[in-house]
Amino acid sequence: MKPVHTIGGLCVLLLALPLHLAGWGFFAHSYINHQAVFSLPPEMLVFYKPYQSFLTEHAADADRRKFVLRSEAPKHYFDADAYDPAAWPCSWQQATLRWPPETLRRQGILPWNALQVYNQLVSAFRQHDGQRILKLSADLGHYIADACVPLHTCSNYDGQFTGQHGIHALWETDIPERLYPRFQLWVGKAEYLPHPAATIWQIIQESARAADTVLAAEQYLRSHFPRKQKYAYYLRNHTWVHSYSTAYLEAYESLMHDMVERRMRRAIEAVSAFWYTAWVNAGQPDLRNLTEVRFSHADSLEWQALQHFQWNARKERTGSFKE
């Protein structure tokens, strides 16, 4: 990505861009990258553990870039239902022979983009480039985690075709943020992936198969759950917020047989496996002498600008900023 140097220029861009498609909420993305570090072998932990806070803080940079770059949004989803399932898995080259690139981009390029970022990470390991390893690991963690979200693999991504607006944030932001303390999210050691491309498509297929359940369970619940108990006030970062009640979130998660917990665990497992596989396929470089990574002034400016836009975008959506 081209470094961003002026906040003023970004303000103009922000006004022109859509603000939907958040991915896992920022909390869940951070949590997934944070937990994935614990599954890495000691040879990688020596580098990843000191930078665990970097991987956590930058887990949602890819989402923040959507506020600035029009080309970023299609990297976060794949409308599996727009295709005959027999058409994929396929490489980007094969896909462009069958569909125009603009159609592919409109319907999302998540699997191809994730694979590209994975390949970039392998070369960053080969080049022993600590800065790029960290930035690409944070981004790869994000895209792999997005692939684990069912609503990122279907065109009805926010229930807009079925009168279920808001289901996207309910599934991937409200439930993880509020229910995660009771989730079991420990996964074992990172596994080596013999065919990373096949694994990405497998994750997409799992998510696509679950999308119907996500929509149907919410549809059922909205007509069977007592209306007066659906919303409540709860304390979020010292501010009272009016939102879904905990009972409603629990009922929804239970109706989906703990799907949010299962997909979050799957995301942690997959992120650690992709980081580990990239390192192995780069020849298992020694990471011990990489512990003094310094980022450029341009990087710092870019991150400040992205934070600023995240803040502004939320303010625009909610009318007030309560965090």
Single out the residue of 58, 64, 65, 76 in contact with Zn ion (rule: CB under 5 A).
76
What own/partner pairs with CB < 8 Å and gap ≥ 24 does 188-195 have?
188/39, 189/39, 189/41, 190/36, 190/39, 190/40, 190/41, 190/269, 190/272, 190/273, 190/275, 190/276, 191/269, 191/273, 191/276, 192/273, 192/276, 192/277, 192/280, 193/273, 193/274, 193/277
d(CA 184, CA 172): 17
C-alpha–C-alpha distance, residues 191 and 210, integer Å: 24
Q: In 127-171, which residue ranges form alpha helices assigned H by DSSP?
A: 130-147, 167-169
Single-letter residue type at 265: R
For Zn ion, give the closer residue by CB, 58 or 76. 76
Specify the residue, 111 or 130, whose C-beta has the smaller distance to Zn ion. 111
Q: Helices 246-255 and 196-224 meet at what angle, rounded to 10?
A: 120
User: From the CB of 63, what's the least distance to Zn ion, in Å?
Assistant: 5
- Residue with structure tokens 């569909």? 99
- Does 146 interact with Zn ion (rule: CB under 5 A)? yes
CA 313 to chain centre: 18
Q: Looking at residues 114 to 133 of the shown chain, list those that interact with Zn ion (rule: CB under 5 A).
A: none
Q: How far is the CB of 151 from Zn ion (least distance, A)?
A: 11
Q: Could you tell me which of 114, 113, 111 has the C-alpha nearest to residue 90? A: 111
Binding mask 30-69 toward Zn ion (x if CB under 5 A, else -) reads ---------------------------------x------
- Measured from the CB atom, the residue of 114 and 251 that comes closer to Zn ion is 114
- Exactly one of 10, 23, 26, 30 binds Zn ion (CB under 5 A); which one? 23
In angstroms, the CA 302 to CA 306 distance is: 6
Half-sphere exposure of 103 (CA within 13 A, CB side): 10
Size of the site for Zn ion (CB under 5 A): 4
Q: Using CB under 5 A, which of the segments 18-26, 40-48, 119-127, 232-240 binds Zn ion?
A: 18-26
Least Å from the CB of residue 307 to Zn ion: 16
Task: Give least dist CB 194 to Zn ion, A.
Answer: 27
Nearer to Zn ion by Cβ, of 175 and 290: the residue is 175
User: Which residue stretch of 119-127, 141-149, 183-191, 239-247 sits at the interface with Zn ion (rule: CB under 5 A)?
Assistant: 141-149
Q: Which among 73-81, 220-228, 244-252, 275-283 is the span making contact with Zn ion, rule CB under 5 A?
A: 73-81
Examine residue 72 and tell whether it contacts Zn ion (CB under 5 A): no
Which residues in this chain contact Zn ion in the complex, by CB under 5 A? Answer: 23, 63, 76, 146
